[in-house]
Amino acid sequence: MSAFSLEILSTDGRARRGRLQTAHGPAETPAFMPVGTAATVKAMTVEAVASTGAEIVLGNTYHLMLRPTAERVARLGGLHRFMGWKGPILTDSGGFQVMSLSKFTTQSEDGVTFASHIDGSRHLLSPERSMEIQNLLDATITMAFDECPPLPLEERRLAESMRRSMRWAERSRAAFVPRPGYALFGINQGGISPELREESARALVSIGFEGYAIGGLAVGEPQEDMLRTLDVTVPFLPADKPRYLMGVGRPEDLVESVRRGVDMFDCVLPTRSGRTGKAFTRRGEINMRNARHRDDPRPIEEGCSCPACRSFSRAYIHHLIRAQEILGAMLLTWHNIQHYQDLMADLRRAIENQSLETFVRDFHATLNLGDIEPLEGGFPP
Amino acid sequence: MSAFSLEILSTDGRARRGRLQTAHGPAETPAFMPVGTAATVKAMTVEAVASTGAEIVLGNTYHLMLRPTAERVARLGGLHRFMGWKGPILTDSGGFQVMSLSKFTTQSEDGVTFASHIDGSRHLLSPERSMEIQNLLDATITMAFDECPPLPLEERRLAESMRRSMRWAERSRAAFVPRPGYALFGINQGGISPELREESARALVSIGFEGYAIGGLAVGEPQEDMLRTLDVTVPFLPADKPRYLMGVGRPEDLVESVRRGVDMFDCVLPTRSGRTGKAFTRRGEINMRNARHRDDPRPIEEGCSCPACRSFSRAYIHHLIRAQEILGAMLLTWHNIQHYQDLMADLRRAIENQSLETFVRDFHATLNLGDIEPLEGGFPP
């Protein structure tokens, strides 16, 4: 088994087209990683996920440690075998979700104690425990345990939080068990402060990780704040290591972040939107519950290769959503993940062809068109 | 396009092994038809349904006339195109469900007026309207409009209801638009009264149908009542036409009914059970929520070809059900439909091999074993 690595195949401006090598096979970058919180990408089979071109999926440490528990997953052969996903799996550290989902949390330098949102049982998450859990899950890519403070936050407290995360990053590095083809990623913090982001990046680089994530963004701040933060942070991350922007985002966020040198993304948006009747198209997000679709024989998106667009009309999808049929969530989730993967494939191709700026211009122009016109009289001739 | 027909390929006792020819392709009998109420077999793609060996699916007139409406389905090219199912589709007449699901129903000789359970709007279902709706849906097999009285019911009222259903069967026959490869099935009624069942069968045969259904059973009566009713009804149905036992049932009901000469079945049990955490196995139905499965690395059923059994442990399915993940409903529904289709394939093979009685004995013996033993210490060595 060779080492975990990122090969940069080509660049276009600050954007990079690469290939990750991992213990569980390769993955092309820039990559969008579907979120499989509780050991399943919601409403999709792993075959369906793979068919979209997705190569890495996420698992959530917080959810899995509570149910079915990391120890049980380990006894059952690890997360890959448990959920039937053969490719790389990235697990988050639990740091973000323990603060947003659990109750009665107590934070200290050691870590976070909390009560499960499922049954109220008490648990500890610390850098050492997070590393242990992610090891038990057999995650291909382990994330360092960090604190993800809410924004906005005064500079002094933001700095304290970031520095604690850096001490936790060091403890994570020490507790992580290195294995060939496996990786530990550090997480850059510092809110939207350029100084703190730089300080954090330097701290992480001096510890040394197989990859670098940018955390603490996509928490409600305006897109320009996020992009400006990327502009001032990415230059301090090693060029030969993958860069992962956590929890991002909308298609336009992915495009603008790839332009700024980001290689990896995850977000619940395409899957969650699929369960609430929303479909992503090149001309924007559309609500399939809307009555304008109920007689429309056209697919969600002409030319899309997903089963929803290959076989079904907008009218059918609209009907399924209205009737609260599970198949509606299944088909829209599939479509949305396909849409995201197609976007990533387009971005990779554009970087290879040195045509990223043209692609980005066309992308925004198409997005601004809005949805296709309703048919005359509600029906085609 | 050739005519709708049933070819009897072999018999074993009263059981028949046959092949239906329809405008939408052939179907092997005895057949179990998954229920696709609102133009979807709940929680399954049509590819998944077809992969189990199912060749005919059901649609429900009552649901479809209210949403998305039969007229809309017709404008969109018919139910096959709407839901992407290329094989034969059978639609019920709406008679049963209008009585069980709608509100403020008024029955008369003409038909039934009712308020939609969705939005309260008023509708009429009559033999003529039911035929019109099923024609708009482009059902391969149309069911005559009938009254399905609750059991038990006093003989006199049962007789009145059955005779009204026979008059409605005649009006259904007159209103049905014959098309090559399409069929209209009459529905035998009469509760568990042998005299009424015989009278109903004779009435239907004198009208003449492409197939004959046995209705008004599987409404809560003991299995022996149902089987005795089959014993006294099936002999009065034409040997060269398909016989369809509506709304049945559990695997043991299918086996015993096939023995008595039934060719077709439908039931929501495998799909509904799949959405409530239950799995059918040869050794009986098991509840995947049960804690005994949480550490079990074995599949639901050894040797089953469905994706749930090929790729996943009972522990994983248990986890998905506990976590209320949509994938749990998807996988269990798939497994259950696969289980039903495998049973039908076994029954067809047994009839071909003249070994049905041996098969039935083994079937009951295996069913009586109950679920596989828990693993020692909860885990395999």
Where does the pLDDT of residue B149 fall: very low under 50, low under 70, confident under 90, or very high at 90 and above?
confident
Q: What is the nearest CA distance from B125 to chain A, expressed in angstroms?
A: 21
Cβ neighbors of A292 (< 8 A, separation 6 or more) are A374
Residue A378 contacts B where some CB pair is shorter than 8 Å: no
pLDDT cut 90: percent of chain B above it: 92
| Residue of B83, B271, B309, B327 to mutate for A, most A C-beta atoms under 10 A | B327
Q: What is the nearest CA distance from B156 to chain A, expressed in angstroms?
A: 40
pLDDT of residue B76: 98
Chain B residues in contact with A307 by the CB 8 A cut-off are 45, 47
Angle of helix B223-233 relative to helix B251-259, nearest 10 degrees, comes to 20
Of B76, B323, B326, which has the smallest distance from its Cβ to A43's Cβ?
A: B326
d(CA B14, CA A240): 74
Of B42, B67, B315, which has the smallest distance from its Cβ to A76's Cβ?
A: B315
H runs (alpha helix) in A208-325: 223-233, 251-259, 269-275, 307-311, 314-322
Closest CA to A296 of A380, A381, A197: A380
pLDDT of residue A319: 98
Residue B320 contacts A where some CB pair is shorter than 8 Å: yes
Mean pLDDT of B234-263: 98
| Number of A–B residue contacts, CB under 8 Å | 109
Annotated binding residues of B for Zn(2+): 304, 306, 309, 335
Record the pTM.
0.97
By C-alpha distance, the chain A residue nearest B40 is A327
Of A311, A319, A326, which has the smallest distance from its Cβ to B67's Cβ?
A: A319
- Both tokens of B368, joined, read 């009586």
Give B177: exposed, middle or buried? Use CB within 10 Å, 0-12, 13-18, 19+: exposed
First to last CA, chain B: 60
Q: What is the DSSP letter of A34?
A: -
Query: β-strands A141-143, A89-91: how paired?
Result: parallel
Q: Which residue has the tokens 């529905």?
A: B187
Chain B residues in contact with A329 by the CB 8 A cut-off are 326
Q: Compute how many other C-beta atoms are within 10 angstroms of the C-beta atom of residue A205.
A: 16
d(CA A333, CA B221): 42
Q: Answer whether residue B132 shows pLDDT above 60.
A: yes
Q: Answer whether residue B177 shows pLDDT above 50.
A: yes
| Contact between B330 and A330 using a beta-carbon 8 Å cutoff | yes
Catalytic residue among B12, B138, B263, B266: B266
Contact B245, B213 (CB under 8 A): yes
- Both tokens of A17, joined, read 């087209």
Cβ neighbors of B23 (< 8 A, separation 6 or more) are B1, B4, B88, B140, B179, B180, B181, B182
For the stretch B327-351, pLDDT in tens is: 999 999 999 999 999 999 999 999 9
First to last CA, chain A: 60
| Residue of B67, B117, B118, B319 to mutate for A, most A C-beta atoms under 10 A | B319
Give A287: exposed, middle or buried? Use CB within 10 Å, 0-12, 13-18, 19+: middle
| SS3 per-residue string spanning chain B | CCCCEEEEEEEECCEEEEEEECCCCCEEECEEECECCCCCCCCCCHHHHHHCCCCCEEECHHHHHHCCCHHHHHHCCCHHHHHCCCCCEEECCCHHHHHHHCEEEEECCCCEEEECCCCCCEEEECHHHHHHHHHHHCCCEEECCCCCCCCCCCHHHHHHHHHHHHHHHHHHHHHCCCCCCCEEEEEECCCCCHHHHHHHHHHHHHHCCCEEEECCCCCCCCHHHHHHHHHHHHHHCCCCCCEEECCCCCHHHHHHHHHCCCCEEECCHHHHHHHCCEEEECCEEEECCCHHHCCCCCCCCCCCCCHHHHHCCHHHHHHHHHCCCHHHHHHHHHHHHHHHHHHHHHHHHHHHCCCHHHHHHHHHHHHCCCCCCCCHHHCCC
Closest CA to A280 of A338, A325, A330: A338
Residue A74 contacts B where some CB pair is shorter than 8 Å: no
d(CA A259, CA A261): 6
pLDDT of residue B150: 80
| B266 is known as an active-site residue | yes
Residue A313 contacts B where some CB pair is shorter than 8 Å: yes
The reply, when asked if residue A267 is annotated as ligand binding, is no
Query: β-strands A278-281, A284-287: how paired?
Result: antiparallel
Residue A67 contacts B where some CB pair is shorter than 8 Å: yes
Contact A372, A283 (CB under 8 A): yes
d(CA B369, CA B121): 50
| Contact between A330 and B326 using a beta-carbon 8 Å cutoff | yes
For A3, the 3-state DSSP assignment is: coil
d(CA A196, CA A158): 8
Q: How far is CA B275 from CA A322, A333, B41, in A?
A: 19, 19, 12
CA angle A261, A262, A264 (to 5 degrees): 155
Where does the pLDDT of residue B152 fall: very low under 50, low under 70, confident under 90, or very high at 90 and above?
confident
Q: Answer whether residue B73 shows pLDDT above 50.
A: yes
Residue B104 contacts A where some CB pair is shorter than 8 Å: no
Contact A43, B331 (CB under 8 A): no
φ and ψ at residue B73, rounded to 5 degrees: -60, -40
| Residue of B76, B293, B331, B335 to mutate for A, most A C-beta atoms under 10 A | B76
Chain A residues in contact with B308 by the CB 8 A cut-off are none
At the top level of CATH, which class does the domain A5-266 belong to? alpha beta
Q: Which residue has the tokens 């917080």?
A: A62
- Both tokens of B113, joined, read 């007026």
d(CA A204, CA A169): 7
Cβ neighbors of A232 (< 8 A, separation 6 or more) are A194, A197, A198
Angle of helix B326-352 relative to helix A326-352, nearest 10 degrees, comes to 110
User: How many helices (H) does chain A have, and how many strands (E)?
Assistant: 15, 16
φ and ψ at residue B60, rounded to 5 degrees: -105, 115
Positive or negative: CA dihedral A126, A131, A137, A142: positive
The β-bridge partners of A12 are A15
The segments of chain A whose pLDDT lies below 50 read 380-381
d(CA A295, CA B76): 7
Q: What is the nearest CA distance from A24 to chain B, expressed in angstroms?
A: 18
pLDDT of residue A114: 94
Least confident of A111-120, A306-315, B138-147, B261-270: A111-120
d(CA A126, CA A46): 31
d(CA B211, CA B204): 10
Q: Answer whether residue B2 shows pLDDT above 80.
A: no
Q: What is the nearest CA distance from B141 to chain A, expressed in angstroms?
A: 22
By C-alpha distance, the chain A residue nearest B118 is A323
Residue B43 contacts A where some CB pair is shorter than 8 Å: yes
pLDDT of residue B379: 53
φ and ψ at residue A373, rounded to 5 degrees: -65, 145
Longest dimension (CA), chain B: 69
**For residue A277, which amino acid is it?**
G
| Contact between B294 and A72 using a beta-carbon 8 Å cutoff | yes
Q: What is the nearest CA distance from B325 to chain A, expressed in angstroms?
A: 7
Residue A244 contacts B where some CB pair is shorter than 8 Å: no
| Contact between A326 and B326 using a beta-carbon 8 Å cutoff | yes
pLDDT of residue B1: 61
Domain boundaries, chain A: 5-266, 274-367
Query: β-strands A284-287, B5-12: how paired?
Result: unpaired
| Contact between B307 and A47 using a beta-carbon 8 Å cutoff | yes
| Contact between A44 and B315 using a beta-carbon 8 Å cutoff | no
For the stretch A16-45, pLDDT in tens is: 999 999 999 999 999 999 999 999 999 999
What is the overall mean pLDDT for chain B? 96
Contact B274, B41 (CB under 8 A): no
Of A82, A311, A313, which has the smallest distance from its Cβ to B76's Cβ?
A: A313
Q: What is the nearest CA distance from A367 to chain B, expressed in angstroms?
A: 28
| Residue of A327, A333, A334 to mutate for B, most B C-beta atoms under 10 A | A327
Residue A154 contacts B where some CB pair is shorter than 8 Å: no
Of B42, B320, B322, which has the smallest distance from its Cβ to A326's Cβ?
A: B42
Chain A residues in contact with B117 by the CB 8 A cut-off are none
Annotated binding residues of B for substrate: 92-96, 146, 189, 216
Mean pLDDT of B234-261: 98
For the stretch A254-282, pLDDT in tens is: 999 999 999 999 999 999 999 999 999 99
Q: Compute how many other C-beta atoms are within 10 angstroms of the C-beta atom of residue A305.
A: 14
pLDDT of residue A45: 98
d(CA B100, CA B95): 9
d(CA B289, CA B296): 12
Cβ neighbors of B45 (< 8 A, separation 6 or more) are A307, A327, A330, A331
